Chains A and B, each alone.
Chain A
Amino acid sequence: MATVDIRGVKKAYGTTRVIHGVDVDIRDGEFVVLVGPSGCGKSTLLRMIAGLENITGGEIRIGDRVVNDVPPKERDIAMVFQNYALYPHMTVGANMGFSLKLRGAPRSEIDARVARAAEILGLSQLLDRYPRQLSGGQRQRVAMGRAIVRDPQVFLFDEPLSNLDAKLRVQMRTEIKELHQRLKTTTVYVTHDQIEAMTMADKIVVMHDGVVEQIGAPLDLYDKPANQFVAGFIGSPAMNFIGGTVEVNGTGQFRCDSGVMMPLEGIAATHHGRRAVYGLRPEHIRIVPDGAPAEVIVVEPTGSEMLVVARLGGPKGQEIACLFRERMTLQPGETIKISPMKGMPHLFDEASGARLDG
């Protein structure tokens, strides 16, 4: 187990710069999730930690050793690849024991450790099979088994669940989390699925176009997104954004471009007249008698909740998504009166996207 310190790390392929100075501190035993849209450089960063890509600038430390020039095999790191990268010509047992065999461990020790890992992952019956004889979920587990047999300093996962179906993904998510609680090995986990990030992480690193947008605990990111990008990325369904102007006349208000007024608490008077983006999560909207009018367009009941898409301020207004816990009979075309829950709206600078309130 070890800490991982990433300091001002940059990466360029020739003249294409893909990571522009990333700083992340990962504590011993922490489960850190790198999340971000496709192409933002998550895999690249992970592969730099593993040593599969060289580091163009900055410094990566594992424990207290700078590993920039340490070859991958000496970094004591295990990685689970998106396509699992199981050795097709080796049985499950041989796949899992390969690293020990390379290290020259005695046969009995290899067998014992493989058996223990297989037990943890429920693979004991499959040790003599070849990868092609396994289901996707089983392959995924073998890939994890190969990693845990080694008892490395750090686990790296690169979108390990993206090849699985939705149900299995949820199950494996729990299994990986349980595994981490059991082994307490420092883990860096890459995904572009924000739900995976929210549910698994101790700490989330949100990346976008090769820079870190925000680092924090899942709920901090949800409650206080540092900018409009993080606000839109974390949370599902995504946050609604409404353009308009801040007005502070005693109490704060937000005049949407459509003319609708929305409440805004605790806003400094200095922001009066400022152009801004009003962010409101669908689950923070409720129906009140004196709310802003909105015309219902689509109603999607899921059983536990209802997703309603409505146009704020009438038929020509902006579409916003609302999530209601209580069941209602709503018809498209109907007008509802909505209002944000107290203290829940977010405000972002229109130009930079940076968070304004707080």
Chain B
Amino acid sequence: MADIAAPGARARSRSWWSGIGQGRHVLGLLFLLPAAVFLLLFLTYPLGLGVWLGFTDTRIGRDGVFVGLENYELLWIDSVFWLAVFNTLLYTTGASILKFGLGLWLALLLNQHLPFKAFFRAVVLLPWVVPTVLSAIAFWWIFDAQFSILSWALIKLGLIDQNINFLGDSTNARASVIAANVWRGIPFVAISLLAGLQTIPPSLHEAATLDGASGWQRFRYITLPMLSPIIAVVMTFSVLFTFTDFQLIYVLTRGGPLNATHLMATLSFQRAIPGGQLGEGAAIAVAMIPFLLAAILFSYFGLQRRKWQQGGGD
């Protein structure tokens, strides 16, 4: 009896399942749901709270009231804020360009047939695995006004005759924090690009060689275009990381001297927590969002998904 009943039941349950299976969107949504709820709770809530705070005059220990755009109006005429915007852009642009150039160079180097290749690849990763705070402290020491090893070495070499004031002078301080950020960010760029380089089939280079391409021409016409999708992704991430950088600056300069290295992130924190002006800090942080969105949109529409790529739109 059971044997006779079973096929019907099985057929019914199969059709129920295949119904779900065929309605791939339904099934997809089902699978998506937990992640969506999770994201909503843990991402949107703090984000929403931050945005909300930006519209209030909340201070630490005192609930604020809605003040509309007042925080933003104040920021608009705040020269320190605009200096921080300028610094952030300078920091991001300078560091990203350097990271890209040096990272690509390193990746190309590591892609060659070097002796001890594995060893060098591991070494390159070092700056990245060291905790940021630790490397920041190391840099703080390297840039120290009295005991800087850099100054010492340069003096010994006879190139300069007194210590460099790395973090005390505006221009030097900016250059120094950018250098530290580049040092820290290069491994990510270099290793990602190296992975990208290794996806380029060697036969393409061989074909180009036979077609008469010099080393530079192979780089220009084969390596670079084939790498461009990965460059786009890597540099987007790199720009986002750099733009929102906080730890390095906070340990090295705390935004000084004379706010010359204050980034939007550090300024936001300083106003909000030590300064107690939660609302204003939040407003500064919110002001970063348009920049980040612009970077993402630029990369998404401008750089990714080439026509020639598998799966790219025709």
Given A88-B308, A102-B217, A132-B310: A73 touches B209 (CB 8 Å cut-off) = yes
**Is B169 part of the contact surface with A, judged by Cβ < 8 Å?**
no
- CB-based contact B211/A99 at 8 Å: yes
- CB-based contact B213/A73 at 8 Å: yes
Q: How far is the CA of A133 from the CA of B308 in the complex (A)?
A: 9
Closest to B229 in A: A89
**Is B36 part of the contact surface with A, judged by Cβ < 8 Å?**
no
**Is B314 part of the contact surface with A, judged by Cβ < 8 Å?**
yes
Interface residues of B in 203-255 (CB under 8 A from A): 203-204, 206-214, 217, 221-222, 225-226
Q: Contacting A81 at CB < 8 Å: which of B207, B212, B214, B221?
A: B207
Q: Contacting A83 at CB < 8 Å: which of B201, B211, B214?
A: B201
For A90, the chain B residues whose CB sits under 8 A away are 308
Given A85-B204, A102-B217: A79 touches B306 (CB 8 Å cut-off) = no
Closest to A102 in B: B212
- CB-based contact A89/B306 at 8 Å: yes
**Is B25 part of the contact surface with A, judged by Cβ < 8 Å?**
no
Q: How far is the CA of A239 from the CA of B167 in the complex (A)?
A: 85
For B212, the chain A residues whose CB sits under 8 A away are 73, 99, 102-103
**Is B113 part of the contact surface with A, judged by Cβ < 8 Å?**
no
Q: In the complex, which of the residues B204, B208, B212, B213 has the most CB atoms of chain A within 10 Å of its own CB atom?
A: B212
Interface residues of B in 285-314 (CB under 8 A from A): 306-310, 314
**What is the 8 Å Cβ interface bit string for chain A, positions 149-166, against chain B (1 contact, 0 not)?**
010000000000000000
For B225, the chain A residues whose CB sits under 8 A away are 89
Chain B nearest CB from A327 CB (Å) reads: 48
Chain A nearest CB from B177 CB (Å) reads: 37
Q: Contacting A77 at CB < 8 Å: which of B204, B210, B306, B314?
A: B210
- CB-based contact A85/B201 at 8 Å: yes
Given A89-B226, A102-B217: A72 touches B204 (CB 8 Å cut-off) = no
Q: How far is the CA of A102 from the CA of B308 in the complex (A)?
A: 21
Q: Contacting A52 at CB < 8 Å: which of B209, B213, B221, B306?
A: B209
**What is the 8 Å Cβ interface bit string for chain A, positions 74-85, against chain B (1 contact, 0 not)?**
000111010101
**Is A208 part of the contact surface with B, judged by Cβ < 8 Å?**
no
- CB-based contact B209/A85 at 8 Å: no
For A77, the chain B residues whose CB sits under 8 A away are 210
Given A79-B207, A85-B206, A89-B225: A102 touches B213 (CB 8 Å cut-off) = yes
**Is A98 part of the contact surface with B, judged by Cβ < 8 Å?**
yes
Q: How far is the CA of A51 from the CA of B210 in the complex (A)?
A: 9
- CB-based contact B208/A98 at 8 Å: yes
Q: In the complex, which of the residues A83, A85, A103 has the most CB atoms of chain B within 10 Å of its own CB atom?
A: A85
**Is A222 part of the contact surface with B, judged by Cβ < 8 Å?**
no
Chain B nearest CB from A50 CB (Å) reads: 6
- CB-based contact B204/A87 at 8 Å: yes
**Is A130 part of the contact surface with B, judged by Cβ < 8 Å?**
yes
Chain A nearest CB from B96 CB (Å) reads: 24
Closest to B225 in A: A89
Q: Contacting B210 at CB < 8 Å: which of A72, A83, A87?
A: A72
Given A52-B206, A85-B203, A85-B206: A132 touches B308 (CB 8 Å cut-off) = yes
Q: How far is the CA of A83 from the CA of B209 in the complex (A)?
A: 16
**Is A146 part of the contact surface with B, judged by Cβ < 8 Å?**
yes
Chain B nearest CB from A105 CB (Å) reads: 11
Chain B nearest CB from A153 CB (Å) reads: 12
**What is the 8 Å Cβ interface bit string for chain A, positions 281-313, against chain B (1 contact, 0 not)?**
000000000000000000000000000000000
Q: How far is the CA of A73 from the CA of B307 in the complex (A)?
A: 30
For A78, the chain B residues whose CB sits under 8 A away are 210
- CB-based contact A98/B211 at 8 Å: yes
Chain A nearest CB from B311 CB (Å) reads: 9
For A72, the chain B residues whose CB sits under 8 A away are 209-210
- CB-based contact A85/B308 at 8 Å: no
**What is the 8 Å Cβ interface bit string for chain A, positions 88-99, against chain B (1 contact, 0 not)?**
111000000011
For A85, the chain B residues whose CB sits under 8 A away are 201, 203-204, 206-207
Q: How far is the CA of A173 from the CA of B220 in the complex (A)?
A: 35
Interface residues of A in 12-65 (CB under 8 A from B): 50-52
Q: In the complex, which of the residues B204, B225, B306, B308 has the most CB atoms of chain A within 10 Å of its own CB atom?
A: B308
Chain B nearest CB from A110 CB (Å) reads: 13
Q: How far is the CA of A77 from the CA of B211 in the complex (A)?
A: 8
Closest to A83 in B: B203
Q: In the complex, which of the residues B206, B211, B214 has the most CB atoms of chain A within 10 Å of its own CB atom?
A: B211
Given A88-B226, A130-B307, A133-B314: A146 touches B211 (CB 8 Å cut-off) = yes
Contacts from B to A (Cβ < 8 Å):
201, 203-204, 206-214, 217, 221-222, 225-226, 306-310, 314
Show 5 A/B contacts (Cβ-Cβ < 8 Å), sorted by A.
A73-B214, A81-B206, A88-B226, A89-B226, A103-B212
Return the 10 tightest CB-CB contacts between A and B, nearest first.
A99-B211, A85-B203, A85-B207, A73-B212, A130-B308, A89-B225, A89-B308, A102-B212, A72-B209, A81-B203
